[in-house]
Structure 1
Amino acid sequence: MSAPPVYLDTATAAPLHPVARQALLAALDDGWADPARLYTQARRARQLLDAAREATAQTLGVRPDELSFTPSGTTAAHAAVLGGLRGRHRVGRVLVHSTIEHSAVLHAAQRHVADGGEAVGVPVDRWGRLDRDAWSTAVAAPGVALATLIGASHEVGTVQPVEAAGAECAAADVPLHVDAAQLVGRVPVPTGWSILTASAHKWGGPAGVGLLVVRKGTRWESPWPTDERESGRAPGTVNLPTVVAAAASLRAVTGDAAAQAARLTPLVDRIRTRVAAEVPDVEVVGDPTDRLPHLVTFSCLYVDGEALLHALDRRGFAVSSGSSCTSSTLRPSHVLEAMGVLSHGNVRVSLHRETTEAEVDRFLAELPGIVADLRAEAGVTGL
């Protein structure tokens, strides 16, 4: 019998947490009505929505009226960037961002530029760490309306100096948006930000729920047509059962985050060490110290990324790559390009709450042979 499949792509989407499944099923019975109405079923739905908001806000350490639920993390990121810029258009039209932001943020920046604004990208080093001097200079320049910084890289795991970057923004009187999609539910959320976004399916909640937190006193104006839902920050009726499931699972994973980090960090260390030692011509990328506990990325020279992903999939391993030239992008990862690191044969492995040592060891045992076979097929031998 073939070995069972191994899911190692939590950075894209975490498996649905059991608490999320239970809460989702329970909320289907009472969460179908419109919470904005006044009849009995609607009032029950409103109670569920208020409870979900209160629980999520408490977990994040924010006020309930600062938190809005959006249809996705992407929608939350778009609203954070475009709304933050719109709220401060009298100050200026400059957006400062790192060069390794998530595509959702970069697409919002492109829209801003297309509308006549300006976007300034701040570089990172080969570990994916923000250039603090360049950041400080950029946010202090005239006309900066908003700065945005990813809390931790979704591709290489490097954790950014959010609190220090936030202090530099505060000194320049510039609000900071933090994309915390890889932080929330895994590590403590840093301070120093004005706007925060996250996505439920990254921590094991259902897909289709994003979080948008706008601190009191932050100038923010909705980029969408007027809508009274979610304090005017997210148009349309929320998918209440999924919101309830997201809130319940966030509380569960946050309570277990320290234990999970302690369990997964040694497994990631094992991958980093053995891949570098057992696969010739490989580069492990991302900060070796300031990094997420569950994610590791490496690149294999002389191997096509897409071919490597397919080969791993045939052996039962679900992983991601930042280098495969997919039909949608036809170019390597902008994150790896910005870091100036090898992008050939890139593999991102991200573990989850049920990943076992045996699964990691099986992956490490099979990887060298898979890479060697692909190199042999390409006519590259003797490494």
Structure 2
Amino acid sequence: MASAVEHSSVLHAAELHERDGGEVTLVGVDRAGRVDAAEFAAALRPDTALACLQSANHEVGTLQPVEEVAQACRAAGVPLFVDAAQSLGRAEVPGGWSYLAGSAHKWGGPAGVGVLAVRKGTRWRSPLPADEREARRVPGFENVPAIAAAAAALVAYRADMAADAPRVSALVDRIRTEVPQTVPDVEVIGDPVRRLPHLVTFSCLYVEGEALLTELDRLGFAVSSGSSCTADTLRPSHVLEAMGVITHGNVRVSLPRGVGSEDVGRFLAALPDAVARLRRTTMNTFETGRRSRP
């Protein structure tokens, strides 16, 4: 079982399990993108083999009730897999998980290095074919230098974020507050308090997300739209759909290390005009098409 807002890799694994004859239970979320711990616990069954819950949503930044869910899973004898890719190095991950996964590129480590922590005493069998090396854990040789670099990068990144997270979080609060004040018909998405410090998502009515991204990119701002794991497709975000919020015209801002107040100020100053221009273009196109109909 899993939450409905897990990363697409988790949901695709669940689909594969179904195709092989298994059953998958998806637990919904509220409008902030947060799972209800009691609802998640109630969905556990005697034959549940694995529960999956992200530490924080990769798209809207909402923190999940991992510790409460872990307690319920432990009582039911169900191992809990936690996707902590978005939170490792940025926020503390509550305990109680059985398996925990992350990706080094998220904290400035080498791309291609993944981390899987298996709690002692938890059953684990690698899905990869074994050979005679590396104690039959994985085939081939481990990339020790990249693994060491990933660990060193995580230590350094975590120290930086511990000092800088309050400042970055205040900048996100500024975006969450000022965008609805300066841009009409905008919905800021995600939990305003129980969230990651660096991430904010909002949706603008009457604007296509990709068009807004192109306009903001022209102005010097690198932001994202749609699902963070399918941003190169035109598919609506499964996260926003599960939350029941606007799925088009959304912008996801992820503040990087070293971002300054002046950077956020420039973004907030440029955004209203960019949205207004696109809305005028959309309206003009609509009016032209309406007048041209027979």
The TM-score, its normalising length taken from structure 2, stands at 0.92
Taking the aligned partners of 1:174 and 1:299, their CA distance within structure 2 comes to 37
How many Å separate the matches in 2 of 1:323 and 1:153? 11
Structure 2: 5+ residue stretches without partners: 286-294
User: 2:256 aligns to what?
Assistant: 352
Q: Which residue of 2 aligns with 1:272?
A: 176
The answer as to 2:55 corresponding to 1:151 is yes
Aligned mate of 2:12, from 98, 107, 114: 107
State the TM-score, normalized to the length of structure 1.
Answer: 0.71
Q: CA shift at 1:323, angstroms?
A: 6.2
Alignment match of 1:118 (pick from 23, 39, 44): 23
Measure how far apart 1:112 and its partner are: 1.0
Supply the distance in 2 between the matched residues of 1:97 and 1:229 (Cα, whole angstroms).
34
Residue in 2 aligned with 1:34?
none
CA distance in 1, matches of 2:32, 2:248: 17
CA gap of 1:230–1:122, structure 2 versus 1, over 3 A, is: farther
1:228–1:106 distance in 2 versus 1, CA, 3 Å: farther
The share of aligned pairs that are identical, in percent, is: 64
**Per the alignment, do residues 375 and 165 of structure 1 end up closer, same or farther by CA in structure 2, a change over 3 Å counting?**
same
The counterpart of 1:169, out of the listed 68, 73, 97, is 73
- Say what the alpha-carbon RMSD is for the aligned residues: 1.8
Counterparts of 2:137 and 2:115 in 1: how far apart (Å)?
11
CA–CA distance in 1 between the matches of 2:134 and 2:110?
A: 19
Equivalent residue number for residue 296 of structure 1:
200
Pairs within 5 Å for 1:206-245: 206-227=110-131, 232-245=136-149
Residues 192-218 of structure 1: per-residue CA shift (max 9 Å, x gap) = 100000001111112111100111111
The structure-2 alpha-carbon separation of the partners of 1:330 and 1:212, relative to structure 1 and needing over 3 Å to count, comes to: same
Whether contact under 8 Å (1:180, 1:189) holds in the other structure is yes
Unaligned runs of 5+ in 1: 1-95
User: What is the match of residue 192 of structure 1?
Assistant: 96
Q: 1:366 aligns with which of 270, 282, 293?
A: 270
Task: Confirm or deny: 8 A CA contact 2:226 2:247 kept in the other structure.
Answer: yes
Question: 1:63 corresponds to which residue?
Answer: none
Deviation of residue 328 (structure 1)?
5.6
- Give the secondary structure class of the aligned counterpart of 1:256: helix
Number of the residue aligned with 1:9: none
* Structure of greater relative contact order (alpha carbons < 8 Å, 6+ residues apart): 1
The structural deviation recorded for 1:115 is 1.1
The letter of the residue matching 1:115 is: D
Q: CA deviation at 1:327?
A: 9.1
The one-letter code sitting in structure 1 at the alignment partner of 2:268 is L
